[in-house]
């Protein structure tokens, strides 16, 4: 573990670590030093690896907390830019009837991407790191990030959501195809 600018960089659990396949526990003491430190460290880690989200099980913690850190990148050039924020003890209140397939990768499954069907809109409820309850309507890419990270809290990974194993490609091939489309 290295020290990042605002936190300690955490080791990312990769597929095969049993914790990634377990349902996470409710966060009881949100304002505790341990939970606040975990959030800081998760933000530092997701920023260091240029990710758009990270869930506590991915850093070996069985807690219902994740970070949404959307920003444009080579993998997601149209992603909205926003400040990373913690989502604690989330609940999905409503899902749209429509789903859309989109390419996803995962820090816990390096080198692989999949074409994953996700709901296009969600209404969610969660607690902030200050312990305040919030409701949000999410759509598009932010709804996709939320569902991906929420799955981690439920012991699922994106490959569990694929319609077909034919919807899986390597990161290298994805980048080759993506660069070809941009030209």
**Active-site annotation holder among 34, 149, 154, 173:** 149
Q: What is the pLDDT of residues 15-35, one digit of tens each?
A: 999 999 999 999 999 999 999
Tell me if 2 is assigned to some domain.
no
Mean local confidence (pLDDT), 64-91 = 94
According to the model, what pLDDT value does residue 52 have? Answer: 96
Taking CA atoms, 113 is separated from 25, 150, 172, in Å, by: 28, 18, 9
Query: By the 8 A CB rule, do 81 and 70 touch?
Result: yes
CATH number (domain holding residue 116)? 3.90.45.10
According to the model, what pLDDT value does residue 2 have? Answer: 45
According to the model, what pLDDT value does residue 179 have? Answer: 67
Structural domains of the chain, count? 1
Mean residue pLDDT across the chain: 94
Tell me if 32 is assigned to some domain.
yes
Catalytic status, residue 149: yes
Query: By the 8 A CB rule, do 66 and 153 touch?
Result: yes
Q: What is the pLDDT of residues 52-67, one digit of tens each?
A: 999 999 999 999 999 9
Q: Give this prediction's pTM.
A: 0.93
Tell me if 67 is assigned to some domain.
yes
Tell me if 99 is assigned to some domain.
yes
Query: By the 8 A CB rule, do 10 and 55 touch?
Result: no
The residue ranking higher by pLDDT, 106 or 178, is 106
Tell me if 175 is assigned to some domain.
yes
According to the model, what pLDDT value does residue 178 have? Answer: 77
Which domain, by its residues, includes 92? 18-182
Q: CA-to-CA distance for 120 and 117, rounded, in angstroms? A: 9
Tell me if 12 is assigned to some domain.
no
């Amino acid at each position: 573990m290295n020290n990042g600018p605002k936190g300690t960089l955490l080791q990312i659990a990769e597929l095969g670590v049993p914790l990634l396949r377990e349902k996470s526990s409710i966060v009881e003491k949100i304002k505790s030093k341990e939970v606040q430190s975990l959030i800081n460290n998760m933000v530092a880690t997701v920023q260091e690896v240029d990710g758009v989200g990270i869930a506590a099980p991915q850093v070996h913690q069985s807690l219902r907390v994740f970070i949404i850190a959307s920003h444009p990148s080579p993998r997601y050039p149209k992603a909205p830019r926003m400040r990373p924020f913690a989502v604690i003890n989330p609940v999905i209140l409503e899902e749209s009837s429509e789903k859309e397939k989109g390419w996803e990768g995962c820090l816990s499954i390096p080198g692989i991407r999949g074409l994953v069907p996700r709901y296009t809109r969600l209404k969610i409820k969660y607690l902030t790191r200050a312990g305040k309850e919030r409701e949000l309507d999410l759509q598009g890419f932010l709804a996709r990030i939320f569902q991906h990270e929420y799955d981690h809290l439920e012991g699922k990974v994106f490959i569990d959501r694929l319609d077909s194993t034919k919807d899986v490609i390597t990161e290298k091939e994805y980048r080759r195809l993506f660069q070809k489309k941009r030209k």
